Amino acid sequence: MQTVTSPGVLAGKGIVITRPALQADSICRLLLEHNAVPIAFPTLLIQPVADPALAKARLREL
């Protein structure tokens, strides 16, 4: 991985991360390495489907 030695174009920029909370950590760390200001704001919660057969049927309808 490259080490940031100058402020760069992201320095001081606030960037909203809308990934699910469990997926946001890695991108937030990368943004911090580039002197950005990550703002974690999860808008999704990914969960297993309650009925896999129904989910497969709905996907076939697409």
Provide the whole-model pTM.
0.64
CA–CA separation, 26 vs 45, rounded Å?
17
Angle at 24 between CA 39 and CA 55, to 5 degrees: 125
Mean pLDDT confidence for 42-55: 93
21 SS3 class: helix
Residue 25, domain member (yes or no): yes
Residue 3, domain member (yes or no): no
**Largest Cα span, the chain:** 52
Residue 53 reports pLDDT greater than 90? yes
Mean pLDDT confidence for 43-48: 89
CA–CA separation, 51 vs 58, rounded Å?
11
Residue 31, domain member (yes or no): yes
Domain hosting residue 25, numbered range: 14-60
pLDDT at residue 1 in the model: 58
pLDDT at residue 18 in the model: 96
